[in-house]
Amino acid sequence: EVLLVESGGGLVKPGGSLRLSCAASGFTFNYAWMTWVRQAPGKGLEWVGRIKSRTDGGTTDYSAPVKGRFIISRDDLKNTLYLQMSSLMSDDTAMYYCVAWTTLELAATYAFDVWGQGTMVTVSS
């Protein structure tokens, strides 16, 4: 069974930093392209960023609101995805979902097929 388990969420002050983790199992993590999607309370979904597999270059892309503040990385030995968030703002308050693309076809069309349960990040003074 494909499983993604996020952790690391919590309450942080504006301007602060936080690192989210996503432990993956049940699939070949090192070949998977991974992504983060967030959802503000009572709001819709918003793509945050993605990282390709190392065999495909391991490059990252980010949405405009987080570019320059968030960094996505991966540790293929630990089957873990990370989201390092800095200069946090109230607008970053959201449930953060780790998502795996199980095929490149889905990654190419940004169809998010395997989701974790999410971890909540609250930015407030």
Name the residues that contact another protein, by CB under 8 A: 37, 44-47, 61, 63-64, 97, 105-106, 108-113, 115-118
What CA–CA distance (Å, rounded) separates 9 from 112?
A: 21
CB-based contact 90:72 (threshold 8 Å): no
Q: Which amino acid is at 88?
A: L
Q: How far is the CB of 44 from another protein (least distance, A)?
A: 5
Query: What is the biggest distance separating any 2 CA atoms in the chain, rounded to whole angstroms?
Result: 42
Q: Where are the beta strands (DSSP E) in 13-118?
A: 18-25, 33-39, 45-51, 60-62, 70-75, 80-85, 94-101, 114-115
For another protein, which is the closer residue by CB, 82 or 97?
A: 97
Q: Cα separation of 62 and 47, whole Å?
A: 8
- What are the two backbone dihedrals, phi and then psi, of residue 35, each rounded to the nearest 5 degrees? -150, 165
Is the Cβ of residue 42 or residue 125 nearer to another protein in the bound state? Answer: 42
Cβ at position 118, least distance to another protein in Å: 6
Shortest Cβ distance from residue 63 to another protein (Å)? 7
Of 7 and 76, CB closest to another protein? 7
CB of 61 to another protein, least distance (A): 7
Q: Tell me whether residue 76 or residue 102 sits nearer to another protein (CB atom).
A: 102
